Amino acid sequence: MKNLFNKFGERLNRVSSMKLTLLAVLSALIVGAFIIIVSDVDNLRDGDVLGAVSTVGSAYWALVVGSFGSLRAISNTINSSTPLILCGVSVAIAFKAGLFNIGATGQMLAGGMTSLWVGFAMDGPGYVQVPLAILAGAIGGAVFGAIPGILKARTGAHEVITTIMLNNMAAFFILWLLKTDLFQREDRTDPISKLVSAEGRLPRLFGFMDGRADLIAHVGFIVALGAVLAYWWFLKKTTTGFEFRAYGLNADAATYAGMHVKRLTVLSMMFAGGFAGLAGAAEVLGTYGYASTNFAGNIGFDAIAIALLGQSSPLGTFFAAILFGALQAGGRQMQTNSDVPIDLIIVLRALIVMFIAAPLLVKTIWRTKNATIAAGQTFRGWGS
């Protein structure tokens, strides 16, 4: 009986940390509503406060419709979420081992370029070329991700610094690569890559529906789902996953227990890089079919917020990425339908992160009682 009670207590704690996350999202939406109202100059100038309030309604409704309201909207959400899920897992797995991977952007660029090379240089049947190109993306990202891991294990250089620097190095390296004969499209002078061969493109998810060229979601999403599953399996079932968790929670105890912590440092950054590399592959092979200098965009940084929001758990990270992807997809609809600029999405995301980072604030606002603050596992800080 007592046993049952305690199990229930633990469940309650988990629920309340999820509740806290949901409340943070809700808080962000409410603050976002105020921002919409005060920036609705047209209505306010006329003294039409009700009109401004209705703008909020139509803006948020457009968000919903634009993200889940139609097959096309869902396809857009899936498409936006795919790289976010993969990069989210990248940041999350490093968090689990106590490392802060700010380098998902660079790793994504590296993985994107290796998969691109396989994508245009090879000319085989799709069922050979596509898996190979995806694999190349994972390897490219993993190799690039291993660099800060090795630097940390060998010299103690902090991964926050090295990954940020490597992001810049990757960006400029790719700018140069895209101007080389190997990568640059023959008829172009600007840094744009050759096109991935038609066989090498990721098949579209809704490809079976003829004549719906607007459904752009591709099988990169399946890869992302697989990555979430692999991440879950890795943490729960494998010895190395157990080592990651122990090392992330208490590095001294991991050392005491005989774990090879330097190896773990390198491995975790390698895995993180591999997942981010998959995101690059998905974007290049699926969404674009070529590479430009900024195909990684802001995804690597959004991924940090996603991993935090999802408390680095496989499922949490997945849903956080879907949320961010949905905001992205819905934001475009919102801009068209209601004159509220898509920049509001950036504000909303920032607010969500802020409320997540300040659980006490959320608890005070919503007067929740005794909700345990579970921020999940993040990195060890500067001292390590």
Partner 1 sequence: MKLELRGITKRFPGVVANDNVNLALNTGEVLSLIGENGAGKSTLMSVLYGMYKPDEGQIVIDGTDLVFASPADAIGAGIGMVHQHFMLVPVFTVAENVVLGVEPTGALGKLNIDEARRMVREISDKYNLDLDPDAVIEDLPVGVQQRVEIVKVLLRDAKVVVFDEPTAVLTPSEIIEFFEIVKTLVSAGRGVVFITHKLKEALNIADRIAVLRRGKVVGEVDPKTATESQIAEMMVGRPVQLTVDKNSAKTGDVVLKVTDLTVLDADGRTHVENVSFEVCAGEIVGIAGVQGNGQTELVEALTGLRKATRGVIDLDGKDLTHSNPRERHQMGMAHIPEDRQRQGLVGGLSVAENLVLTRYHDDQFSHGVYVDWEAANAVAETLITEYDIRTPNKETGVGTLSGGNQQKVIVARELSRDLRLTIAAQPTRGVDVGSIEYIHSRIVKERDAGTAVLIVSTELEEVMALSDRLLVMYRGKVVAELDPKKVTPMEVGLYMAGSRPDSAVSA
Q: Would you tell me which residues interact with partner 1 (CB under 8 A)?
A: 2-3, 5-7, 9-10, 237-242, 245-246, 249-250, 252-260, 370, 377
CA distance 183 to 142: 21
Residue with Cβ nearer partner 1 (45 or 237): 237
In the structure encoding, which two tokens stand for residue 131, read together? 């898996």
Report the DSSP beta bridge partners of residue 193.
184
The pair phi, psi for residue 212, each rounded to 5°, is -110, 70
Residue with Cβ nearer partner 1 (81 or 265): 265
Residue 300: which residues within 8 A CB-CB, separation 6 or more?
Answer: 87, 102, 103, 104, 105, 106, 107, 108, 167, 276
Smallest distance, partner 1 to C-beta of residue 248, A: 8
Residue with Cβ nearer partner 1 (298 or 372): 372
8-state DSSP, 222 = H
Amino acid identity of residue 83, one-letter, is P
Smallest distance, partner 1 to C-beta of residue 64, A: 37
Report the DSSP beta bridge partners of residue 204.
218
Residue with Cβ nearer partner 1 (21 or 377): 377
Residue with Cβ nearer partner 1 (240 or 293): 240
Nearest Cα neighbor of 84 from 184, 286, 179, 224 is 224
CA atoms within 13 A on the CB side of 86: 35
Check: CB of residue 92 under 8 Å from CB of residue 312: yes
Nearest Cα neighbor of 377 from 286, 278, 302, 268 is 268
CB atoms within 10 A of CB 357: 14
Residue with Cβ nearer partner 1 (8 or 176): 8
Q: Do you know the residue count of the chain?
A: 384
Smallest distance, partner 1 to C-beta of residue 13, A: 9
Residue with Cβ nearer partner 1 (10 or 214): 10
Q: Measure CA of the first residue to CA of the last residue in the chain; give whole Å.
A: 43
Smallest distance, partner 1 to C-beta of residue 236, A: 8
CA distance 34 to 27: 11
CA distance 263 to 57: 52
Smallest distance, partner 1 to C-beta of residue 380, A: 13
Smallest distance, partner 1 to C-beta of residue 364, A: 17
CA distance 356 to 376: 11
Residue with Cβ nearer partner 1 (62 or 246): 246
Gyration radius from the chain CA atoms: 22
Smallest distance, partner 1 to C-beta of residue 240, A: 7
Smallest distance, partner 1 to C-beta of residue 6, A: 4
Smallest distance, partner 1 to C-beta of residue 253, A: 5
Residue with Cβ nearer partner 1 (300 or 314): 314
